[in-house]
Structure 1
Amino acid sequence: MSGPDQDFWQQRFERGQTPWDRGEPGPQIARWGADGLLATGRRVLVPGCGSGHDVAAIAALGCDVTGLDYAPAAIALARQRLDDAGLAAALVTADALQWQPPQPFDAVYDQTCWCALHPDLWAAYARQLHRWVRPGGQLLLLAMQCRRDSAADGRIDGPPYHLDVHTVRALAHEPAWRWPPPPYPRVAHPGIGYELAIVLERR
């Protein structure tokens, strides 16, 4: 398999080597909550949920949340975070490229999963996203922008991997998804770069 495997992620969470973790929920959650995209009763999947900051924040908005992660250590941290906050959410340990829910979701909130996958796996992941979201539902994507100088030589360095918007658009393309016109809001991710907040509607 191209890129990091399950053991890589398990060791990172066991050792606390998670520099991508803000230590708090992503700030875009509150904005999408105010817009009604993360509203009470909506079924929301958070792939690559890590230690659960975002799962807990979305659950606190009244959503029916499922957190998905490859690493059992990440799921254990997310479970503890939910328990400490008195919040409920479903948590699943599985490979995002293989797992299928019983029914599609109203929305998928992706802040860390796509950019954690090696680009060789992106086409398969884009197909998963289309399966996971119901028609008329949304992909709430925070596309990581962390281009490295080594890209000029064709090297693929990460994770996180730089999510070039043109590449994302080629994989999550019209007419399967409805794209909003740019520009897209920038969300700072200290120490890494920034993200582009993009809401795609599944047709």
Structure 2
Amino acid sequence: MDWDARFRANDAPWERKGLHPAFEHWRGLGLLQAGKSVYVPGCGRGEEPLALARAGLNVTAIDLSPTAIDWQVARFAEAGLIAHLEAGDALAYRPEAPFDLYWEQTFLCAIPPRLREAYEAGAYAQIRPGGVLLALFMQKEEMGGPPYGCGIPAMRALFPDTRWQWPEDEPAAFPHPGLNAKEELAVALVRR
């Protein structure tokens, strides 16, 4: 997939119009605290990096698409806020210090399933012990992708209890308006 060409052509049906409702959900649970560091892999042209910075978090956002990163840079400049914004491989990125939070939104479901183990290993390395992976797992029955379905049984196998603490509560569901109302399940995984 040529992600940059898709952004240049404004052919990005996975983009939400506005801030993801999980932002307020997780802020209401006290997970988005000012001063924490947060990583947004595959950020695209999402509203979340800027919203996180406005909430006082230290944002790092990476995307393969230079067009998407240029869009983020312009938005941050307009808002007078700073962040580490970089065009590059979000899976391979290793910070100097691990992040407190990891905002997963339409990134895991966009990469080929054969890369999921690399995703989990990267997230485990990128998040500090006790840090939280704020995951939005795309629910999709049909074959193929992207988006690729991230059913909860598969996600429990990918993020095992030996490395991640799963919440006891049922996940909140957020239908995606740009993807035929496919649900994204909000799960906050604590890195052990």
| TM superposition score normalised by structure 1 | 0.90
Aligned equivalents of 1:109 and 1:160: distance in 2?
A: 17
**Where does residue 18 of structure 1 map in the other structure?**
12
Aligned equivalents of 2:154 and 2:66: distance in 1?
A: 30
- Residue 96 (structure 1) aligned with residue 85 (structure 2): no
**Where does residue 154 of structure 1 map in the other structure?**
none
- Residue 56 (structure 1) aligned with residue 45 (structure 2): no
For this pair of structures, how many residues does the alignment match? Answer: 190
Aligned equivalents of 1:34 and 1:134: distance in 2?
A: 22
Runs of 4+ in 1 over 6 A off after TM superposition: none
SS in 1 for 2:96: coil
Amino acid at match of 1:200: L
Aligned equivalents of 2:89 and 2:55: distance in 1?
A: 27
Aligned equivalents of 2:130 and 2:139: distance in 1?
A: 27
SS in 2 for 1:187: strand
Q: Which is richer in helix?
A: 1
Aligned equivalents of 1:147 and 1:50: distance in 2?
A: 24
- Residue 198 (structure 1) aligned with residue 187 (structure 2): yes
Amino acid at match of 1:13: F
Q: Deviation per CA, 1:158-190, whole angstroms, max 9, x where unpaired? A: 111111111111111111100112521101211
**Where does residue 107 of structure 1 map in the other structure?**
101
Unaligned runs of 5+ in 1: 152-156
Q: Deviation per CA, 1:108-150, whole angstroms, max 9, x where unpaired? A: 01012111101010011111010111001100000011221xx
Unaligned runs of 5+ in 2: none
Aligned equivalents of 1:84 and 1:161: distance in 2?
A: 34
Deviation at 1:52, TM superposition (A): 3.8
Identical positions, percent: 41
Aligned equivalents of 1:82 and 1:52: distance in 2?
A: 12
Q: 1:124 aligns with which of 109, 118, 126?
A: 118
- Residue 86 (structure 1) aligned with residue 107 (structure 2): no
- Residue 165 (structure 1) aligned with residue 152 (structure 2): yes
SS in 1 for 2:157: helix
Aligned equivalents of 1:168 and 1:52: distance in 2?
A: 23
Q: Which moved more, 1:91-100 or 1:62-71?
A: 91-100
Distance 1:52 1:90, change over 3 A: farther
Asked whether the equivalents of residues 102 and 134 of structure 2 are also in contact (C-alpha less than 8 Å), the reply is: yes
Aligned equivalents of 1:22 and 1:49: distance in 2?
A: 12
Aligned equivalents of 1:123 and 1:72: distance in 2?
A: 25
Q: 2:161 aligns with which of 160, 169, 174?
A: 174
Aligned equivalents of 1:89 and 1:120: distance in 2?
A: 31
**Where does residue 30 of structure 2 map in the other structure?**
36
| TM superposition score normalised by structure 2 | 0.95
